[in-house]
Amino acid sequence: MSNEKSEILKSVKSIVSQALKVDEQKIAPGSSLIKDLGAESIDFLDIVFRLEKSFKIKIPKGELFPEKLLTDTRFVKEGLVTPSGLEELKKRMPNADWNGFSKNPQVSNLGELFTVGMIVDYLSEKLAAASQ
Amino acid sequence: MAKRVLSPTGIDLIELTKARAFYRRHKRRLGGLLSAGEIAYVRTGTRPHVRLAELLAAKEAVFKAHGGAWMGMTGFSRARIRPASDGLRYRYAGEGTPASGRITVVKNADFVVALAGPACAGI
């Protein structure tokens, strides 16, 4: 992991620890916010707002979480992610663990894939783009 | 026998200590999250954090009722909550036909629970 990414991970771990009242030692890049760290919807909002403040960035709707994808009827039908939708999601979140989700691709389970590492990757790209 | 269709219902719970901390920390950022009407509902209450918890729990209950998933700010915007004479009502513009219904809220000193459905008689 590069130095910049290590620093971002350190900050994200601190933010997630404060937001979820979880010991930082228990937070790893692969930690799922919901499954491993117990995050609820209000916690996701809290984390996004804290990230914006800490990194002095604006996180537009649809950037961190693939929201717009999930309102596209090509990609979601009757609460299930379609094969095309799965393909698009894998492009957006290449490091997520798709094996389990692919067997039962319910939209309502998608949140369980969101990890600390996903946030770090997003911030790393966003900050790199901003510095160019 | 006539085919019966189950009405969608969803339920969610929010801890008031979390809602209080969230409101204190982020009350100036609600515009990115709630509609003007929803913000007014929060701010005109004597305990804004409780009303905020009602709205957040209501929105989550609506997603669960309609098989969707909360997915960031856009997801939150798809469920609109408004006060009515008999409680809260919602309108949901997820995939498919927009849906509407009632929210039943139950609360105590620690939690707010919201139940979303087409016709909730109360619990």
The parts of chain A modelled with pLDDT lower than 70 are 67-68, 71
Is residue B96 pLDDT above 70, yes or no?
Answer: no
pTM of the model: 0.84
Helices (H), A1-132: 3-20, 41-55, 83-92, 98-103, 116-131
**Which distant-in-sequence residues (6+ apart) come within 8 Å of A115 by Cβ?**
A29, A30, A31, A32, A33, A95, A96
Question: Quick check: helix, strand or coil at residue B122?
Answer: coil
Query: Nearest residue of B to residue A44 by CA position?
Result: B72
Chain A residues with beta carbon closer than 8 angstroms to that of B63 = 108
Chain B residues with beta carbon closer than 8 angstroms to that of A38 = none
Pick left, alpha or beta for residue A37 (phi over 0 → left; psi -120 to 50 → alpha; otherwise beta).
alpha
Digit-coded pLDDT (tens) for A24-61: 999 999 899 998 999 988 998 899 999 999 999 998 87
ipTM: 0.81
Dihedral of alpha carbons A132, A119, A103, B61, sign: negative
- The H-or-E segment that residue A112 falls in is none
